[in-house]
Amino acid sequence: MSTTGSQHKNKAATLGRIKCFISRGPLSKNPTQLNKKCDGIPSFASQLYTETLPFTRLEKWKLPGGNGSWQKFPVHDILSEVFLPANLGDKFGPVWSTHWLKVHFNLPKTLEGKEVHLRFSSGSEATLRDFQGSVLGAFSPDFRNEYIISKEWSGNESDIVYFIEIACNGMFGGGMIADNLNISPPDEAFEYTLQRLEIAVFNRVAYKLLNDVDVLYGMATELLETDHRGYQAMYTANEMINLITENKTQKAGQLADAFFAEKNGDKVHTLIAMGHCHIDTAWLWTYDETIRKCARSWHSQLQLMKDYPEFVFTCSQAQQFYWIKKYYPEIFTNIKEMVKQGRFIPVGGTWVELDGLLPSGESFIRQFFYGQQFFQKEFGMKCKEFWLPDTFGYSGQIPQILKHVGIDRFLTQKLSWSMVNKFPHHNFIWEGIDGSQVLVHFPPGDSYTMTASVKEILKSVTNSQDKGRVNCGAYLFGHGDGGGGPTMEMLEKLRRVRNVDGLPKVEMGTPDKLFEMLASESRNLCKWVGELYLELHNGTYTSQAKIKWYNRKLEQFLMEVELIMAIAYSTDCALQEEEFRKDLHLVDKCWKRLLLNQFHDVIPGSCIERVKDDAWRIYKCVWSDLTKLQTIYNNKLLFGAADNANVPVIFNPLCWEVTQVICSSSAIPQSVNSTVQTVVLDDKCFDEEEEGRKLPHKFVAVLVKMVPTGYSQVIPVEPSLPVTVRKTTNNNTSLFNMSNGKLNLKVETLNGIPVESLALVSSRQDYNEVEVFKKDTKPGMFYVFDDVPLFWDSWDAMDYHLETRKELECRDTSGPIILADGPLLSAYKWSCTFGSSSNFTRYTIMRADSPILEYFLIIDWKESHKFLKVEFPVDVLAREATYEIQYGHLQRPTHINTSWDMAKFEVSGHKWMDISQADRGVTFITDSKYGWHVRDNVVQLSLLRSPKSPDGNCDMHKHYIHYAILPHEGTFQSAGSIRKAYEFNFFGANDVSILNVDQDYWKRGMTNMVTTDNEAVILEAIKVAYQVNRALCIRMYESFGGSARARVNLGFSATKIEECDGLENPLDESKYVDTDGNSFQIRLNPFQIKSFLHSFDNQSFRDAEKLSKFQEILSVETGGGNNSDKIKNFHLKLNHFELQCDSDKLIKHFVNFNTIGFPNDGYVTINEDLFLAPESYCVDSLSNDLSEVVIVTCDEAPALPKCCPWGKLSRWLHPELCKKFENASENLNLNENLLLRSKISESRHKFYWHPLNCINENKMVETATINLYNQSELDGIIAQLIPGSFCFDDVLVSHDLKFDWQKNVALFYCGQSWPYNEFGVTNVETVMYGGCLSLSAVFLLAGIAVYAIRLKQTHCHIHTWIELFYMISLLSLAVFCILHINFPEDHLDFCSLYHLFSVFGYFVSAIGVFTWATLLSLELFLAFKDLRPVVGLGCKQNVKRLIFNAICGHFFPLLVTCCTFAYSFYWKNTGYCVNTDLAAVRIILAALLVVNTICFGGTLYLILRHRRCAMLAVDNKSTQSNQRLNQL
């Protein structure tokens, strides 16, 4: 190697020289900063751009609204907005707003053949778009400020126009980020400045050399002390500089090439480099901005892929892909192509990169369920690895959950952030709490945002904890969040280090390749058992309490709604497939929204206030959707709730029987000898609407027994152990005891503060009571800690906070006041003010027959950097405490023997945690808290924190916190703690929902859907299967940590049961599970999760179930007795049954056929002794959902109208049938009620009979039905049949009317069959107008075609939009017109409402004519004057073409409008009012008129809004027009 001259240099001087040489360029992080030490030493970086050109014109436009408003403005609209003049130095703000720049450049011919870049800098993120709005490139403040216009400019096009969409936020949110890591809330008033916007000529030769020297410099600095290779790199770089100074750039380049061509040995360590861009789905910015961040980042990656064929990019989170698909379809199409090529690689398989600790087990599974579904659907592939580089700890159940969804690889790295202990592996086998094992890799560079520097590459080798065991590792490079992912510079550098002596091999590769290499060496790997605990960020178990509360409650709500829908599905309560699928889709949507908020900066509470607001809003939407679904399916299952509903019913989603005192604000009837207690709590604290939650202060408590997974009637049960309160006074200290035979609570007051002591009444003979807490302590007392973390405010609780524990200093205490004293519930309250005017009221509650002591805390939290905890010094000796996690539990030490134990000073747990010694212990239960600290025997539950960044108002509001203690004998398993924790979460609140069901309907509790006979087995998900029709998916787990055999009993008959995975794919190895149809046997290992698919084709089941329901109803209606023999051939699938009833018994019969499975659109045929009298109609009971059947019987046969003349067309079409029918009607032997018949005849009302419906082969009058469409129509029908009152306007009875004349049987039923539209077209006028209309329609289509072409040809969007509005308007008028024609000539009375509509229609038509005429004249006038741009009517075009456009675009539609108008006018004058008889048609007419009105309104709006659009309504090339405009 030539190193001429190098020997004269010393190390420090040479390195200094090289550093200066590469400084100040785009390669150094801050290009504008001059390195002072390099003054005078030539910097080669300044030669990167040889020539710059300013813009010729710059304009700006501010998008109205702030954060997220960009979604409301289509890009095409923005392009035609009125932009105002702008210049460099202009400010853009405030934070979260969006501004658009329109910039013109004039490129001279001299640039031909040169590489031309656009350079932009505003300190904010921005998107570059072309004149049509398509995304071209992206800018991020620190890392991407250039866009390559062309690598070799053709020199053809001289004028270029670009649009730049400036998003007023930086990489880390809005405004300036505070200097330390303690990220402050966004500075919302901050403004960004346009610093640079120019065209520059790029010197690619210089760029190559700079990258060469840069990499050499990296090697020189990093290898100098250890390796000769470092010196070689240094001397090579130095020599290159010498050559470059002499202008021998080619030679310099060759020198570098030769150096980088010197290869490594065979066994050198290999790094698999993967491009990555970790985009937090919301964090210091909102979800809305994330969408644009993804678009900018991913588009940049697609651009790089064109130039770097080796480049591979990994990308996680289905949600983000979904957003791009929705908002940037062009980019998504390109991504799809690259996914196909295996270069853009979806990874992770989850919906979002979720938090690793807080979501429930089911949520974890659904993250994969929905994530993999998306990847499969869009890309035809599933991710093979779990990818979660950035979360704050990893649950010990993750390995099994991964296995359950078919994944056995996991990539993460966050444990490198641990503060105390360095995790001993980068590659290992991770074994979860159940023994499942997955292969784990932590990229040994300890980062997922590396930048291709030599330093990081070497760190990825030296830092590896598995040297000698594994010879490869991942190298994830690319700027995250707004940084835009990998850059050209990174890819350039990686090309140089692919295989160069002195460094490891750095190959571009896929996760698949990495894990395959690791798997081949996995025999060498160590095993890690249990959770991966991050020794940092443990304040995130508590921050943003409300988000956590919502998450817990909605996870449970979803479980409940899915179960209700599964019951409805399997019992087939007349679900309409399409509607049901829609509702299932809504459930999916609810899940996805919940999963979104489980993102690893949202649910942990480490987000800004705006994100919190978004999260709450999303939760409220989910809540309301689920409430809607719950109501729908409860109604379906419980036969609807009629007005006189008086049977209280409760739903239990848990798979075991629950007997508990529940509290509800619903009225519960008190039966004899049973107890219902009314409780009134403090009315100040409750009843406030806090974030959608309203807790009643007055409610009833009742002890009920609830069947598993089903509905039960609320029948008050007498408690075997009522709760009592006994007051005593002892030496001026007020004292009282609260006891329920299981617990004995003694409350003493000390300085106004209640001090509690709790005893467990022992079941053992030799003891009476066992004290639960240590003597002379204050169990349940609140403590406040100083909470000032070193680094990240919302994230961290540092261990030293424990040393600042202070008992709450209460002011203005009130209480304890006893509010309820049994027998079902007793409660006392205590309230006080503390700190900076925070205040709380605590209710201590004990229920009858319950081993639980509850606390309900309402707290208004106003502190700053304080941590609030409640403490319980338990009287047990336990070295470990047990915490519930996802689908299981694990133990953590209560001591601090080792640094690993010590680091776990704040840990997470779900619904419960337990501390026990061999014979007894205490379980603590919460409804939404996750943070725990247990040291020795003292348990602290973390309640609230008050960090001030990044959300300055984090948790500063009212909180409702519910927690409980459950002292027990024996183990927590034997004490039933786990199930109690579920019960507490589902039935603990005082607003438990109770449904009221009609007495007649509620005959028995619904079948228990699914139960097990083993207490350890818990069924947490019972849902309709995703892929398989007529199947349910049921998921269960073993909760005790032991082996379990259980029989699972089903409330429905399964034809086939097969085991499946978490994605609901049947397991290959599984054969069908043995089942007797109603139960099956399972075996579960400790903590094992199993899912099963249950198919239930069983028509027979459904029929049998319905039949039995039908019989029950019938039995009631007929006053008891078995009617089963009267129901024949009950076959619902064929929509048919025969019913035999005695007319003297059956007085009134009312069946919801929906409930028993009739489709809404079928016919019901009754052939036996039933008859119907419309007079005794129970019209009131008819519901509006058109789903019910009314069968009424009475003693007398009703009058039945005779069939009347048909429309002329019908007669003409079916003369024979008509004849036959008429004869048949005449010949019928009607023996009664002729009076009514004649009355009807007098009233001149006519029935239109449709022959095809009337005549049923030869038995055309065997049966009778009247098809009704809604209640008002039904009223009309009855009015027809009852003499003396009629109002026939709205009713159509012209078809589907069938009577059994001989047997006097008629059946009325409401269905959804669409009204038959009878054509009685006979009069000449109508035909004439039809012809006229057809001609107009042709013109209309011609006009539309012309506009479609124009829309494509021009960019004059405003004009085109106006025209489109007219098009729609005209189209609707045309339809209106068509509807006029299609009615029979047998008209009925003039109808005033309809008249009103018609007049409105004429009015609208008249305006249309006027507007069109004006527009046409204007257009023609302007066309001749060439002034069109001035009024924004379009582009500059030649006159001939304009006239053509005007005629096609205006004249023909005008003609149509005129025709419509004339036609309408004629009809009005003839005095004809069409007898529509069709309510539906009316609705359509009304809708059309609304559309018309909207179109006119929209047009007006567009014209007003764009009145100045002359400035803009020219395409980018028509500069001449602009000049003309400027003159004007």
Secondary structure of 299-335 in the HEC alphabet? HHHHHHHHHCCCCCEEEECHHHHHHHHHHCHHHHHHH
The single residue of 212, 280, 390, 572 carrying the catalytic annotation is: 390
Q: Considering only residues 817-836, where is the footprint of Zn ion by CB under 5 A?
A: none
Pairing outcome for strands 1189-1192 and 1265-1268? unpaired
CB 843 within 8 A of CB 817: no
Helices and strands per DSSP (H, E), number in the chain: 32, 61
DSSP calls for 956-985 = -SEEEEEEEEEEEES-TTTTTHHHHHHHHH
Using CB under 5 A, which of the segments 70-78, 389-397, 716-724, 1346-1354 binds Zn ion? 389-397
Residue 555's Cβ-count burial label (10 Å; 0-12, 13-18, 19+) is: buried
Closer residue to Zn ion in complex, CB, 280/1188:
280
Amino acid at 572: D
For residue 476, list its beta bridge partners: 274
CB 271 within 8 A of CB 459: no
CB 986 within 8 A of CB 556: yes
CB 1435 within 8 A of CB 1354: yes
- Give the count of residues interacting with Zn ion (CB under 5 A): 2
Contact track, Zn ion, 921-940, x by CB under 5 A: --------------------
Using CB under 5 A, which of the segments 383-391, 1077-1085, 1253-1261, 1442-1450 binds Zn ion? 383-391
Using CB under 5 A, which of the segments 390-398, 494-502, 1186-1194, 1304-1312 binds Zn ion? 390-398
1510-1515-1519-1522 Cα dihedral, nearest 10 degrees:
0
Pairing outcome for strands 647-652 and 1079-1084? unpaired
φ, ψ of residue 477 in degrees (nearest 5): -125, 150
Closer residue to Zn ion in complex, CB, 317/556:
317
Closer residue to Zn ion in complex, CB, 243/354:
354
DSSP calls for 246-301 = TT-HHHHHHHHHHHHTSPPPTT--EEEEEEE----SSSSS-HHHHHHHHHHHHHHH
Report d(CA 653, CA 709) in Å as an integer: 5
Nearest-approach distance from CB 354 to Zn ion, in angstroms = 11
Packing angle of the helix pair 454-462, 204-223 (nearest 10 deg): 40
For residue 964, list its beta bridge partners: 854, 925
Closer residue to Zn ion in complex, CB, 59/390:
390
Q: Considering only residues 334-353, where is the footprint of Zn ion by CB under 5 A?
A: none
Using CB under 5 A, which of the segments 386-394, 508-516, 1206-1214, 1363-1371 binds Zn ion? 386-394
**Cβ contacts of 1180 within 8 Å, gap of 6 or more:** none
860-to-70, 831, 955, 956, 1347 alpha-carbon distances in Å: 37, 11, 9, 8, 62
DSSP calls for 139-189 = EBTTTB-EEEEESS--S---EEEEEEEEES-BTTBSSPPPSSSSPPPP-TT
Q: Which helix (H) or strand (E) holds 1421?
A: helix 1392-1425
Closer residue to Zn ion in complex, CB, 606/1372:
606
Q: Considering only residues 235-294, where is the footprint of Zn ion by CB under 5 A?
A: 280
Question: Cβ atoms within 10 A of the Cβ of 1087, count?
Answer: 26
Pairing outcome for strands 505-508 and 838-847? unpaired
Contact track, Zn ion, 1050-1089, x by CB under 5 A: ----------------------------------------
Which residue number has the CB closest to Zn ion? 390
381 three-class SS = coil
CB 1254 within 8 A of CB 1221: yes
Nearest-approach distance from CB 482 to Zn ion, in angstroms = 13
Nearest-approach distance from CB 1110 to Zn ion, in angstroms = 58
CB 573 within 8 A of CB 984: no
Closer residue to Zn ion in complex, CB, 373/794:
794
718-to-517, 664, 725, 824 alpha-carbon distances in Å: 67, 17, 18, 9
Closer residue to Zn ion in complex, CB, 280/983:
280
Nearest-approach distance from CB 414 to Zn ion, in angstroms = 9
Report d(CA 3, CA 655) in Å as an integer: 80
Closer residue to Zn ion in complex, CB, 398/1297:
398
**Cβ contacts of 1030 within 8 Å, gap of 6 or more:** 1095, 1096, 1097
501 binds Zn ion (CB under 5 A): no
Alpha-helical regions (H) of 1284-1391: 1324-1353, 1357-1381
Closer residue to Zn ion in complex, CB, 276/1298:
276
Contact pick of 390, 625, 884, 927 for Zn ion (by CB under 5 A): 390
1097 catalytic residue (yes or no): no
Report d(CA 511, CA 274) in Å as an integer: 8
Closer residue to Zn ion in complex, CB, 392/1467:
392
Closer residue to Zn ion in complex, CB, 355/390:
390
Closest CA to 1259 of 1301, 1294, 1297: 1301
Amino acid at 925: I
Angle ∠(920,978,649) on CA atoms, nearest 5: 130
Amino acid at 411: L
Closer residue to Zn ion in complex, CB, 280/969:
280
CB 1122 within 8 A of CB 1115: yes
Closer residue to Zn ion in complex, CB, 146/446:
446
Using CB under 5 A, which of the segments 385-393, 794-802, 862-870, 1069-1077 binds Zn ion? 385-393
Contact track, Zn ion, 972-1011, x by CB under 5 A: ----------------------------------------
- Which residues are part of the catalytic machinery? 390
Provide the binding-site residues for Zn ion, judged by CB under 5 A.
280, 390
